[in-house]
Amino acid sequence: MDIKKLLGKRLKEIRKYRKITQEQVAEFVGIETPSISNIENGKYFPTAENLDKILKILDVKPNDIFTFESLSDKDELIKEMLTSMQQDENLTKIMYKFYMAVKY
């Protein structure tokens, strides 16, 4: 997959995760909605100025969009964590300590 498609997919993923519409992004950036669609579909790169605005509305840092790992939904995350903890007792203890530290 080329960098334009990866970047577009990542921006779309974050936008949807944040429950922001393409229309809202387009209005904030000052471009047409089809342009946001073309960026998300990997047809075009955003300009540096537009990318900066997109990052602001998505509330992310540049390194967040260039980490091309998918944001999983809650059930996938839980399944992955449970599987990992079942395979590694030390990880289970670490996760429990973390849980106890943040649960209140």
Read off the pLDDT of residues 37-54 as tens digits, 9 standing for 90 and up.
Answer: 999 999 999 999 999 999
pLDDT digits (tens, 9 = 90+) for 55-82: 999 999 988 887 766 556 778 778 888 9
Q: With contact defined as beta carbons under 8 Å apart, do 84 and 91 qualify?
A: yes
Fold for 3-65, please state it. Answer: 434 Repressor (Amino-terminal Domain) (1.10.260)
d(CA 93, CA 90): 5
Q: Which two tokens stand for residue 25?
A: 């992004």
Q: How many whole angstroms separate alpha carbon 101 and alpha carbon 24?
A: 37
- For 92, counting Cβ atoms within 10 Å of its Cβ (0-12 exposed, 13-18 middle, 19+ buried), the class is middle
Q: What is the pTM of this model?
A: 0.64
b/e map 59-72, b = 16+ CB within 10 Å: ebeeeebeeeeeee
